[in-house]
Structure formats: structure tokens, C-alpha cells
Structure 1
């Protein structure tokens, strides 16, 4: 079965919801999830009822990937000028003994793609924005980079041999590459363009026998509504700029009331994809207020070809 033969079933209720009080009392959404010593560790975007902060990063733990217990305090908060309004939308990979988190730093005007690293998923060292300059405008502004999803292994051949790659952006998707995961260079031409309103990377890319699978998010205008859906694209192993194909039908789209009504209506937005036994767990934000889970995938295939 091809990795493009997707079959996911969503749980009908959220697995994470806002608390009654505290730093995550308004919205809890767009999580990263990774396994650590057999435990599912979720790092989710959290917003409080009071104040102007658009994001802190909360932590929750689970043994089964469905039932999570929240940590009482955020693990990452705004500190610097480039993130003074929010730290948002984490994505996490592990390379060697280090966890690498890409996240959005928002200063109230520009959303910048930033990096933090950790050895334990609790204490994080921030490395700042990954690109000092990014000339392609979004919302009328340059330097708007926002989102990045890293493939957690080096390319084995082709023009980026020996380098890590990342897909980034949220109007188009660009490719960037790095020797050390901390210093990145971007390619000037987008590798994935929107078919509707916008396109944005989702979870970290996945190595499959057929190519590099990027689950991503796309927004489309339907009637008078903007609808966020989860889609997928397959890129060439030899040259990860090369798009092989992309889904014609959404993997996920808003269906339940809690996906259709929230802080932002009509949103499913994926950022985490975890293998669990014979299936995959796809974690997503619902209506910018909740965390949802879809279970499924495709027939498992050999990875890391060549």
C-alpha cells in the first residue's frame, strides 16, 4: 500500500482541553508529541483567559498516547523581544541525545521561526530566530518564517548529501538545509505552493520507501468560510525540492462541533505524527482551542532507503 493510501479515524472528543484557570485556561492546541522512554510527551500551545500572550508551551504526559496528564506550569514562556507576545506551535525531533524544537516566536507584528534544544524535554535552551533575513513577504512583512518541520536524519545523496533538511513557511513552503541543525540556509524557490489560501508544514517529515512524506496543512475558501485541512505531499529522496505528488483529498478536515467552533472556526491543524505499534497517531489542533487525535496510517514500509 502506498503512503498516499491514508485511512485515519478521529476520536470524537478532544484529548486535551483548556483548564478552568491558569496559563492554558483559554486555548490548548497545535501540539508536538514524541516518545521518551516509553512515555508520550506532548508539548502544546497554551493561552490564558487574561493577558495578551498568544502562546506559552505546556507539557502533558501519557502512557497510551490518548489519556494525558498536564504539567501544572508552562515549560517555555516568552522571554526575548522577538517572542514577547508568544511562543507558539512547537514541532520536535530527536537527533542523537538532543531534542530539537522549532517554534514560532511572535513579537506582535512578525512571526519568526525559532529553535530550542533540550536533553529531557523539560528544560530548554533557546537559540533564537533561525533566519536573520527572509525576503519573501507574508501579511505585507518580510522576515515572516513562522513554521518549520525537520527531517531527523541527514540526506544520503544528492545536492544536500550530508545535510539535514527542513520544510518551512506558511504562505508557501520552502526548503532549508543545515550541517548542525542550528544554522540554516534556505532555497529561494518554494517547493510547495498553496492550492487555496495558504499551505504550511505539519509534523516532522517521514522517511518512506517512496520518498519524503510531508504531512501539511492547507486552508481553502469554501463559500464564505476559510477551512483548514490536513493534506500530504511526497518529495524526492535524491532532491527534496522535487515534488512527486500531493493528496487531492484531505486526510482530515473539520467535522465535529469542537473542530468547527472555537477560537478560530473550521480548523484541523496537524503538527505531530507518532508511530505506535502497527498504527500511527496523528495529533492536531481543533478550532485553535483543543487537541484532537486521529488513528490510522498505511501499511508499514521499509524506511531509510539506500
Structure 2
């Protein structure tokens, strides 16, 4: 799935802006299996202005009162080094705006994920309130019992929150509101209850982290935390730690959850398989890779095994035919997984540009 597959004539923004837009990326897909056996990707479509800079201003798209408008800031106030966003100076805080607005597009695939069956434009999810006026990003889908739960990141000046949708078929979604009222890019609901409760991985962000002792095996910075809920709607952080970045490797200088944890067996040990991303610093964005951990079935804060070797790495050969569209490199961002018996099907974003399917044989996960 690439930007070339997206028909912007059927976009939620179509015909509303006095400016040309294009698909900056169709990427970071949440994934689940439908009742008919097909796979569903919930693809993040980042729709960007073809010419964001004009008349001495840099512009962004914003939803307001059911329509889309353009906002412009003087170039003198903006740092546009990152093609995905621009920083605004002079406010006393780190303030940014986006060069694109994201919405979610359901894409149905064959059971093995190798072909597109249908693109459901009529079921696209777009901003519907001021809390997501700059877009809806990075869906993660979990099936618990007969219900599908989808977390998304909603972006606005009000807050950078996690929003929740619920469905009985993964096609018709009901908005359930904000569940985490702070910047948290990676909330992943476990695909099953633990002790009768819903559990989730979270990843709060901030600009200040306190140091571990000098001889600690852990590195200060973003980590994967845990939360639980009696009903899937009201979440409380757990006291127990989740997955933390290791001091011994630069590959986890930044980390976050990838695919929702699924209950499986690896080398005779049963637990929650968690795929997560680790980032090695490089230039502006860094190098994103996918790693894995196996968490205890009953006490998911206990890590039974973890990989220090990447499970999935960026694959430049996949995007080489789209080289003229690339704006970042060295990024694979995993967001979905499905158990296919003797292998796992993994959905990832590649280079913040397109969607990638990877088949992982079970023996790729070695304890």
C-alpha cells in the first residue's frame, strides 16, 4: 500500500481547500483479522499541502466546525528543517505545527496480506472535534473477546491525547472519547484479559527524565509502561514497570510500543508477544527498528525474554521504486500483528511512506 493507491478525490478533505494536496505518506497501519478471514489495515493517510510556503508564510491544515481551513505563520517564526512539521519560535515553549493532516483509511487485504481486496473510503475516520483538529494518527487495533478496540493519537493545540474507538466488526467504529489526556503516542491494548481486567502498554512522553544510577542497566528516557482497566474505557497506570530502554545499546535511545501484545507460545514458553520499536539516533529522525519481548502471561511486567537483535529492519529495496517520494529513510514502524499458525503476519509503516507486510516464521523468535 503506497501513496499512489490513495484516491484523494475520495478524501474527507476533498474540495474544501483552496490549495492542492498530495499524499505525503500512507503508513503505520493498525491491523486485525475480519470475520471473513481477510486482514484489515487501518492506514494513516498524511495529506499534505503541495506548496505549504506561499506569500511569506508556512501553512498547516486544521479542522474546525466540520470543515477544513488553512492557517499561516510568518516564515521568520518557523523552523522548517523537518519535512513533517515545523517549529514555531518565540512562544517560550516548544511549539510545532504539521505540514499534513492525517486521517485513517480502512484497507482490506487477502488473508495472507499479499493483495488489496478493497479500500473502504466510505468508512474512513477523520477529525470530528477540536481535540483532533490537526489529525488522527497511528491506529492500533486489538480484539478482546468479540469486540474490536482501536486506539489512535489525536493531535490538537488543546492536547496530544489518546482516543478510543470500539466496533463489533472492525469496519463500523464508534468513538468512545479520550482515554489518556497527555502526550502518549503508543497505547496498545492486550488481546485478552488478565485477571479479569483489560491491560495496555502506554508510552508517555516529556522533555525531562530522571537519571538511573550510573551502573544501572537501564537508560533514562521514554519507556513502555503499563495500565489496566475494568471496562476498557477508564485506565489507571500500574505501579509495576514495563519495558525500559537498555543502557548498553544506542538502539533504544528512544522506544515505544509497536503491535498490540498477543498471547502465544515461543519455544515452549507461553506469554504475551510484544513487538516494539527502538530508535538509534541519526540525523533528525533516527533509525527505527522492530524488536520483541515475551511477557509473563499473568504478570505482564515480568519479561521472560527480550531481543537485543532487531527482528525487522528498514528495507530500502522496498521503497526504491518510490525513491522520488521519500522524505525520510531508515524507518520501519510496526503497528500490527496476526497469528497465522506457523508464522506471524506483521504490518509496519516503511519510511513513513507506505505499508509493509512481513511474514515471520515462528522460529525467527528465539529465546
Q: Would you say same fold, with TM above 0.5?
A: yes
Offset at residue 104 of structure 1 (A): 0.7
| Residue pair 1:18, 1:27 contacting (<8 A) in 2 also | no
Alignment pair present for 1:207 and 2:272: no
Alignment pair present for 1:197 and 2:250: no
Alignment pair present for 1:62 and 2:109: yes
Counterpart CA distance in 1 for 2:101 and 2:173 is 19
Larger RCO (CA within 8 A; separation ≥ 6) = 1
Query: Residue in 2 aligned with 1:264?
Result: 328
Q: Deviations over 1:132-176 (max 9, x none)?
A: 4xxxxxxxxxx2122211112111xxxxx2212111116211100
Over the residues paired in the alignment, what is the CA RMSD in angstroms?
2.6
| Residue pair 2:316, 2:330 contacting (<8 A) in 1 also | no
> Structure 1 pair 185/259, CA: closer, same or farther in 2 (3 Å)?
farther
5+ residue gaps, structure 1: 1-14, 133-142, 156-160, 302-306
> Structure 1 pair 224/177, CA: closer, same or farther in 2 (3 Å)?
closer
> Structure 1 pair 25/200, CA: closer, same or farther in 2 (3 Å)?
same
Query: Residue in 2 aligned with 1:144?
Result: 183
Q: Deviations over 1:244-296 (max 9, x none)?
A: 33211101111315569734321100011112343211110011110011112
Alignment pair present for 1:286 and 2:334: no
Q: Deviations over 1:27-79 (max 9, x none)?
A: 10011121112121111101223363531000111224111132235621011
TM-score (norm 2): 0.68
Residues 222-233 of structure 1 mapped to structure 2, 5 A cutoff: 222=282, 226-233=286-293
Query: Residue in 2 aligned with 1:250?
Result: 310
| Residue pair 1:32, 1:42 contacting (<8 A) in 2 also | yes
Structure with a larger share of its residues in helix: 2
Query: Residue in 2 aligned with 1:182?
Result: 233
Query: Residue in 1 aligned with 2:25?
Result: 27
Query: Residue in 2 aligned with 1:304?
Result: none
Query: Residue in 1 aligned with 2:57?
Result: none
Counterpart CA distance in 2 for 1:218 and 1:154 is 27
Q: Secondary structure at the match of 2:131?
A: helix
Residues 291-306 of structure 1 mapped to structure 2, 5 A cutoff: 291-299=355-363
Deviating more after overlay: 66-75 vs 36-45: 66-75
Q: Secondary structure at the match of 1:130?
A: strand
Q: Secondary structure at the match of 2:281?
A: strand
TM-score (norm 1): 0.80
How many residues are matched? Answer: 272
Q: Secondary structure at the match of 2:193?
A: coil
Offset at residue 101 of structure 1 (A): 0.4
Query: Residue in 1 aligned with 2:146?
Result: 97
